[in-house]
Amino acid sequence: MLLGVASTLQAQTPQELFNQALVQERAAGNLEQAIQLYERAARESVSDRALAAQSLMAAARSYQKLGQAAESRRLYQEVLQSYSDQKDLAELARQYLADTGTIQGIVVHASTGAPVPEAKVWLSGGPVDPGAFAQLQTFFKNRGVAISAPPDGVIDARYMQYVSDAAAARNVSMTNPGVITAIAEFEAANDARFVGRADSVGRFVINNVLPGRYTIRSLRDGYFPLSADTFPAAVVVHAGRATAVEVPMARGATITGKITDAAGLPQTNVTVQAFAVTYRAGLPTLEPAAAKSTNDEGEYRLFWLTPGEYLVAATPGIRPDEAGLSQSTAAAPRPDGGYPPAPTYYPGTPDVGMAIPVFVRGESPVSGIDVQIRKIPTFHVKGTIRSNVPRNTTYVTANYAIRRRDANVPDTYATPVLDANLPKAGDGLYVGEFDLKGVPPGVYNLRAWVREQNPDGGSGLAFASADVQVVDQDITGVVLDIHPNVRVTGTVSVDGRAPGAVPTRVYLQADGSAARAGVYQGVTNRPVLANSQNGGFMIGAVPTGRWRALLGPGLPPDYYLADVRQGAVSVFDSGFDVGKEPPTPLEVIIRSGARTVEGVIRDAAGKPVAGATAVLAPPRERRLNRALYYTARSDAAGRFRIQGVAPGNYILISWQNMPEGAYFNDRFISRNEDAARRVNVSQSSAIGADIVQIPAAGR
């Protein structure tokens, strides 16, 4: 038996040894074992110098985590001397051989200054971790995307644009779930290098930190870090020096109330959830923040909530542990294939659009959030799914899902997905029936999809959709016709000519509730570079729906998107439809002479606000056109400068701690539109456009 085990170990390849070492380092936390495996992989990688250098870098990293600086430097030096042909890794080794610095400080309560004990503190960013980057590089390589290490060893917005362009050229979306996971794993590994923990009086030290710019992160049950607007968490580490910092954290707040039925009787063991209203791609989204069951008096208490906007909902029939996860069984279909139980939102409505938001203000508790549960009638939505996507099988499986059609009101991404069998009904045609049970009244978008093999790559899924309105009876006869995804083509002109030296990236933004779907976001996140000589571009594997053409990053500030046309018709504000046939080619028109809007952001007391975001938004009738939104951050003196603005009328506004992307949502803007400044840049730029920042919701 022992001989067999030894033989198996001996037969392991260097790559297998490296993978085992990763598990020992990152999952098991056994750094000594990881070092042995890494060094063995390096010795045995005779024919793979890249893997040998990568293994030595990983072993050096593990020594560094153990605090064995001499051993770590020895291996970095070996990479630099013996593997200089591996230029990316050699350059990283050179950076790691630089003298290190120290971060020391204290974690305090933001309001009282009292120390916060036992908080975890770590540094995010800084010079890239070579082992983590090598894994990310391999991930993209396996998908046909070649990326090199950042030239300065730091991953910033410019480098991520380079990665995004390389991925888009291979029709790989940055919002593909696999890509998102790979990047998240890279970031987690990169951020696991420099970690400290506060002692009983809140003090912490992080040693052997590579010189560079970092962001301080902190974590402690019952507390949360302050927002970037309130606490700029950036810190610069210098070689041979200790940097002192103070890390403020605030306590989480509570929401309390009572759940009753229509007769006023308390409801026991009902799950109550607090959903944080966040914004994904500008769409208001409900993120589960806390969930608890009511007691025998129908009372509930939700705690550890950060400041912000929440919707509170009571849902019989699910457990708090199910409700606490956005992709939980709470979002799964019922065993009979129906819609999951519908929540009742505070104060007592099944319509999320009619729910009254609850604002958490700092650490102050919020009480009296009582919800009266309504008995909600539900109905069937029935119909036929027809797939025209070529396949070589006797049947195909289609998936389908339904969500609220109005993308302007909050919704959850945890939409139940069901499936239907589609037997072959003819040459290239598959037809099957569906019956979705338990749908409450409302206006919905119903979407179905099947797998496809598209020569342009893409998501591998083709779609069909239909809008349905459920009022007081079952809906029948819905037909969803699925066709293969198509190409969207067009040309870009700059002042009537080909782009030439002006870099122009074109991408598509899905309209309405389809923008919440991952596949549609994936199309958005693969902008393509237009041909510099003739302006031509092609975006492959675009699913059915309404889309808008926009410009990606990189356009010089003197230029702006003036119009998007299909034939003789402008689709700049309206968008264009993609169906079973490729749409008429687009004309993307760019002009020079962009306007600039400059000013100062001040608080209510007239003091300049640093690090605030100024937002320039179009008038209400054009707010679906995302090309007409512009932003800029204020400097230390509160000054901001928005460039690349198309001539026209706008409102200028700024919010404290504004959720990212919230300004794209008319529901968010309209709350404080009367406090905005009107700006007209039809004839010239606007200088001296000072504004007063609106206090954050919940502050």
DSSP per position, 409-438: S-B-S----EEEEEEEEETTEEEEEEEEEE
Q: What pLDDT is recorded for position 322?
A: 57
**If you search the block for the tokens 């070579």, which residue do you land on?**
130
Residue spans in the chain of domains classed CATH 1.25.40.10: 14-97
In sequence order, what are the beta bridge partners of 650? Answer: 679
Cα 371 to Cα 360: distance, rounded to the nearest angstrom:
17
Q: State whether residue 234 is helix, strand or coil.
A: strand
On whether the CB atoms of residues 31 and 131 are closer than 8 A, the answer is: no
Cα 192 to Cα 371: distance, rounded to the nearest angstrom:
43
**Mean of pLDDT values over 508-536:** 86
Q: State whether residue 617 is helix, strand or coil.
A: strand
Which of 20-24, 177-181, 380-384 shows the lowest per-residue confidence on average (mean pLDDT)?
A: 177-181
Cβ-based neighbours of 579, under 8 Å, separated by 6 or more = 483, 486, 544
**Mean of pLDDT values over 389-412:** 89
Residue spans in the chain of domains classed CATH 2.60.40.1120: 103-127+193-251, 253-372, 596-692
In sequence order, what are the beta bridge partners of 124? Answer: 215
**Mean of pLDDT values over 160-171:** 82
**If you search the block for the tokens 């039809």, which residue do you land on?**
682
Cβ-based neighbours of 41, under 8 Å, separated by 6 or more = 14, 15, 17, 18, 21, 51, 52, 55
Q: What pLDDT is recorded for position 395?
A: 92
**If you search the block for the tokens 């009367």, which residue do you land on?**
674
Q: What pLDDT is recorded for position 330?
A: 40
- Bridge pairing between strands 242-251 and 101-109: parallel
Fold of the domain spanning 14-97: 1.25.40
In the predicted structure, residue 209 carries a pLDDT above the cut 80: yes
**Residue pLDDT, tens place only, 271-309:** 999 999 988 878 888 989 999 999 999 999 999 998 889
pLDDT band with cut points at 50, 70 and 90 for residue 514? confident
pLDDT band with cut points at 50, 70 and 90 for residue 242? confident
**If you search the block for the tokens 């512009």, which residue do you land on?**
630
Cα 598 to Cα 177: distance, rounded to the nearest angstrom:
39
In the predicted structure, residue 175 carries a pLDDT above the cut 80: no
**Residue pLDDT, tens place only, 81-118:** 899 888 878 877 877 777 788 899 999 998 888 999 99
**Residue pLDDT, tens place only, 119-148:** 999 999 888 888 888 889 999 998 889 998
pLDDT band with cut points at 50, 70 and 90 for residue 323? low
**Mean of pLDDT values over 339-356:** 88
Q: State whether residue 462 is helix, strand or coil.
A: strand
Q: What pLDDT is recorded for position 334?
A: 56
- Bridge pairing between strands 242-251 and 223-225: antiparallel
Q: What pLDDT is recorded for position 336?
A: 61
Which has the closest alpha carbon to 511: 573, 590, 600? Answer: 573
The architecture in CATH of the region 396-593 reads Sandwich (2.60)
How many Cβ atoms sit within 10 Å of the Cβ of residue 184?
10
Q: Which strand ranges, in their side-by-side order, compose the sheet holding 576-578?
A: 528-529, 505-510, 545-551, 576-578
- Token code pair at residue 363: 């650490």
Cα 78 to Cα 185: distance, rounded to the nearest angstrom:
27
In the predicted structure, residue 232 carries a pLDDT above the cut 80: no
Q: What pLDDT is recorded for position 281?
A: 76
Radius of gyration for the alpha carbons in the chain, expressed in angstroms and rounded: 28
- Token code pair at residue 430: 């598959």
Backbone angles phi, psi at 596, to 5 degrees: -130, 140
Cβ-based neighbours of 601, under 8 Å, separated by 6 or more = 608, 609, 612, 614, 634, 638, 640, 654, 690, 691, 692, 693
Cα 686 to Cα 665: distance, rounded to the nearest angstrom:
24
Q: What pLDDT is recorded for position 699?
A: 36
In sequence order, what are the beta bridge partners of 570? Answer: 565
**Residue pLDDT, tens place only, 184-202:** 899 888 888 899 999 999 9
**Mean of pLDDT values over 529-556:** 93
On whether the CB atoms of residues 234 and 633 are closer than 8 A, the answer is: no
pLDDT band with cut points at 50, 70 and 90 for residue 438? confident
Which of 317-326, 361-370, 609-618 shows the lowest per-residue confidence on average (mean pLDDT)?
A: 317-326
Which of the listed ranges 66-70, 217-221, 354-358, 591-595 does the model predict with the highest average pLDDT? 591-595
Which has the closest alpha carbon to 436: 458, 403, 413, 462? Answer: 403
Which has the closest alpha carbon to 695: 172, 111, 230, 13? Answer: 230
**Mean of pLDDT values over 429-442:** 92
On whether the CB atoms of residues 275 and 313 are closer than 8 A, the answer is: yes
Burial (Cβ within 10 Å: 0-12, 13-18, ≥19) of residue 109: middle
**If you search the block for the tokens 């995004």, which residue do you land on?**
164
Cα 482 to Cα 544: distance, rounded to the nearest angstrom:
9
Alpha helices in 554-680, H assignment, sequence order = 666-670
The mean pLDDT of the chain is 87
Residue spans in the chain of domains classed CATH 2.60.40.10: 396-593
The model's pTM: 0.74
| pLDDT over 70, % of the chain | 94
Fold of the domain spanning 103-127+193-251: Immunoglobulin-like (2.60.40)
On whether the CB atoms of residues 463 and 518 are closer than 8 A, the answer is: no
Fold of the domain spanning 253-372: Immunoglobulin-like (2.60.40)
Q: What pLDDT is recorded for position 458?
A: 74
pLDDT band with cut points at 50, 70 and 90 for residue 229? low
For residue 390, say if its preceding peptide bond is cis, omega within 30 degrees of 0.
Answer: no
**Angle CA 310–314–317, to nearest 5:** 140
More confident residue, 678 or 521: 678
Q: What pLDDT is recorded for position 176?
A: 73
**Residue pLDDT, tens place only, 633-683:** 999 899 999 999 999 999 999 998 888 888 998 888 888 888 899 999 999
Three-class secondary structure assignment of 466-533: EEEEECCCCEEEEEEEECCCEEEEEEEEECCECCCCCCCEEEEEECHHHHHCHHHHHHHCCCEECCCC
Q: What pLDDT is recorded for position 211?
A: 87
Which has the closest alpha carbon to 149: 99, 190, 100, 90? Answer: 90
- Token code pair at residue 279: 């914004």
- Bridge pairing between strands 212-219 and 223-225: unpaired
In the predicted structure, residue 333 carries a pLDDT above the cut 70: no
CATH 2.140.10.10 fits 596-692, yes or no: no
Q: What pLDDT is recorded for position 324?
A: 47
Three-class secondary structure assignment of 579-597: CCCCCCCEEEEEEECCEEE
